[in-house]
Chain A
Amino acid sequence: MKVESIGDTKQRVRRQLASLPFTRKLDALICLQRTARDMARASGRPFGGVVWPARRNERYGKA
């Protein structure tokens, strides 16, 4: 059985993420923005960014 190294797995996942359709990457970006905001709130830090409005039927999380 061929075992993939951690480095190879990471590179494969990064390749897959880079090849996603741009609209899906934008959905993921909005998810990242929300996560950053929520982490700032949870730790009591001010949040200096902006969370972009999500599309309807988005794939990641709730609007």
Chain B
Amino acid sequence: MNSNNSSMKTGILGEPLRIINRLLAEKVILEYAIAGGVAALYYTEPVLTYDFDVVCRFPGEGPLIDPSPIFKKLGEWGFKFGKEDRVTINGVPVQFIPASPGLMEEALNKAKPVSVCGVKTRILRAEYLAALMLELYRPKDRAKLDLLTSNEGVVFDKSLFLDILKRYKLAEKWKRYHEG
């Protein structure tokens, strides 16, 4: 699975994305999108992150989410898991985050198709990413939220963002954040 040569041609995230697309093709995951710091990096200025987060939808219904088929399949392909269930692909720690019902699930449904490092994939829209950061509200999320919402170079649909905040009861939190 190690393919340094291909990563040299297509960029560091090419190989991880190809592996994730294989998981998709084999229906180990039903849907995924790039999220977290890498998604923020896609839209705004360079920002420090160490993980490549992907939000996923798994087969099966109901409240219990079972991500173990991912670990089993990646294990079969020779990948090793590190702390907090991260798997390192081509030197990049990848974290699979199950899409929880509500905002994250809608964000995944509305993710937009893009090409990253020469590989077709999907990425959370900037407006949903910002809403998720507001919902999580850890210091690192607030820092990225600021980058997404205050950089004039980021294509950002403010009315969509405000609509998301209203529907997920985040408008008051946004007001406090914005005023603070």
User: Which A residues lie at the B interface, using CB under 8 A?
Assistant: 11, 14-20, 22-23, 25-26, 28-30, 32-33, 36, 49-50, 52-56
* Partner of B116 from A22, A36, A54 at Cβ < 8 Å: A22
**A contact residues around B50 at 8 Å (CB):** 33, 49-50
Contact, CB under 8 Å: B46 / A16: no
**B contact residues around A54 at 8 Å (CB):** 12
CB-based nearest A residue for B48:
A32
* Partner of A19 from B4, B90, B153 at Cβ < 8 Å: B153
Interface size, chain B (Cβ < 8 Å): 27
Known contacts A11-B152, A23-B117, A49-B50; A18/B11 CB under 8 A = no
Known contacts A33-B48, A49-B50; A55/B7 CB under 8 A = yes
Contact, CB under 8 Å: A52 / B91: yes
Ordered by A's residue number, 30 sampled pairs between the chains whose C-beta atoms are within 8 Å are A14-B152, A16-B153, A17-B153, A18-B44, A18-B45, A18-B154, A22-B11, A22-B41, A22-B42, A22-B117, A23-B11, A23-B117, A25-B46, A26-B11, A26-B12, A26-B13, A26-B41, A26-B117, A29-B41, A29-B47, A30-B12, A32-B47, A36-B48, A49-B50, A50-B91, A52-B92, A53-B12, A54-B12, A55-B8, A55-B12
**A contact residues around B12 at 8 Å (CB):** 26, 30, 52-55
The number of inter-chain residue pairs (CB within 8 angstroms) is 72
Q: How far is the CB of B127 from chain A (nearest CB, A)?
A: 15
Within 8 Å of chain A (Cβ to Cβ): is B109?
no
Contact, CB under 8 Å: B153 / A14: yes
Classify the secondary structure of B's interface with A: loop
**B contact residues around A50 at 8 Å (CB):** 50, 88, 91-93
**B contact residues around A56 at 8 Å (CB):** 8
Q: How far is the CB of B92 from chain A (nearest CB, A)?
A: 5
- Measured between alpha carbons, how far is A19 from B44 in the docked complex, in Å? 8
* Partner of A25 from B41, B88, B92 at Cβ < 8 Å: B41
Within 8 Å of chain A (Cβ to Cβ): is B100?
no
Q: How far is the CB of B125 from chain A (nearest CB, A)?
A: 15
- Measured between alpha carbons, how far is A47 from B153 in the docked complex, in Å? 32
B1-12 Cβ-contact flags toward A at 8 Å (1 or 0): 000100110011
**B contact residues around A19 at 8 Å (CB):** 153
Q: How far is the CB of A24 from chain B (nearest CB, A)?
A: 9
